[in-house]
Amino acid sequence: MNLDIVILAAGRGTRMNSNIPKVLHQIGGDSMLGHVLNAARKLESEKIHIVVGYAAQQIKTEFSSDKELQWALQEEQLGTGHAVMQAMPNIDISKPEKRVLVLYGDVPLTNFSTLRKLVQQASENTLCILTLLTENPKGLGRIVRDDSGEITAIVEEKDANDEQKKINEINTGIMVIPATKLNTWLNSLGNNNAQGEYYLTDVVAMAAADDECTICAMVIDDENEVQGVNDKAQLAGLERQYQMKKAEQLLEAGVLLRDPSRIDIRGEIETGSDVEIDINAIFEGHVTLGNGVKIGPNVVIKDSKIGDNANILQGTNIDGAEIGEGASVGPYARIRPGTILKENTKIGNFVETKNAIIGKGSKASHLAYIGDAVVGENVNIGAGTIFCNYDGVNKHKTIIGDNVFVGSNSVLVAPVTLADNTFIAAGSSINCDVPADSLAVARGKQRNITGWKRPTKK
């Protein structure tokens, strides 16, 4: 496709009242600029150019993994036309069919399908504008049409007269422009306007005056698609719109949401049939929920796979883990990266796991830490048990066989192996391997002192 994309991301966003560049503020777990790039990449353009200014290096660092991005610097923010000028030296204007799509790094929710349709309408002699019909055009550039309905100009509100301010078709700023003509028009821009800036919108009047150029408009009525963000209130508003759209997609897929307005998806989620999600659940990164999964209230799941019929109870936090079929986790459990829970395991309240494989049917019902371990099948880990995996320098592994019983308040000092069918007496500190079918008792001998009196306060 003979298309280059220019994304304008040079502004600071002073109304955001933040040291973070405006385009790096997040919606749905990704930066606004990230959302724009995700849509742009789907268009299969030849090059994507990002025009940066404020905190340029911070933005470039954020996207440093994408080596194909082209960067242009706008040292002074002198308007949208001036911003596009900075990218033009890297755009091959020798191809008559080359077009330039202009996007904005603070307009994050424009659908790929909308952009694709807009691009398809453009040609080497056609400038296409995405416009919006709105009941509240205040503060926005108006689309000016002649008596025959043809677009003749875009007028910014500060430069509009009273009659033009009544127009309810507004400019979204998104347009596709023939590259060769764009280069010529940009070189003719002036800044004789209320803001003293070089407006990109002025090229529309130049196109209207060009006998070889036609102007087309693609009109939409979904304001959220083209809503820009200038302050935290607008950011919060778009966040909620984004989340409601994600919730609607889940409902359409058959997921039972106890309250669609109280779910946050900050990444991608795949769901099977008969999934139930209670209130205030948060999903980050890539999450897969199998058939019949139940997610309790206030659960956070990140980059994890939840198997069929698993039950994730209230307040549980799961990160980088694989939860097996029929497992029960929580309430208030913390499942850290590297955890694999096999079928029908049970991890109860205030249990923490990390880099642990826990076998089929095994359980730690409450108050335990299981780190750097391989646990067999049908193992019981009592309350207060700690896998002591760190010696202050290195991590060590605990290996537990099948059908092992670990009594409450035990400490397993790694590296250590508990063979099949072993029994660890409550309160033991185990630092040596335990052979199969053995009882291990490692605690001080109890002494009862008769006639003992408590200290008294002096």
Catalytic center residues? 366
Q: Which of 446, 438, 454 has its CA nearest to residue 403? A: 438
- Secondary structure (3-state) at 175: strand
Q: Are 101 and 4 a contacting pair, CB within 8 Å?
A: yes
Q: Which two tokens stand for residue 177?
A: 């422009």
C-alpha 160/C-alpha 162 separation (Å) is: 7
Q: Are 240 and 214 a contacting pair, CB within 8 Å?
A: no
CB within 8 Å of 240: residues ≥ 6 apart = none
Burial class (CB in 10 A: 0-12, 13-18, 19+), 69: middle
C-alpha 247/C-alpha 244 separation (Å) is: 5
User: What residue type is assigned to position 395 of the chain?
Assistant: K
C-alpha 433/C-alpha 444 separation (Å) is: 19
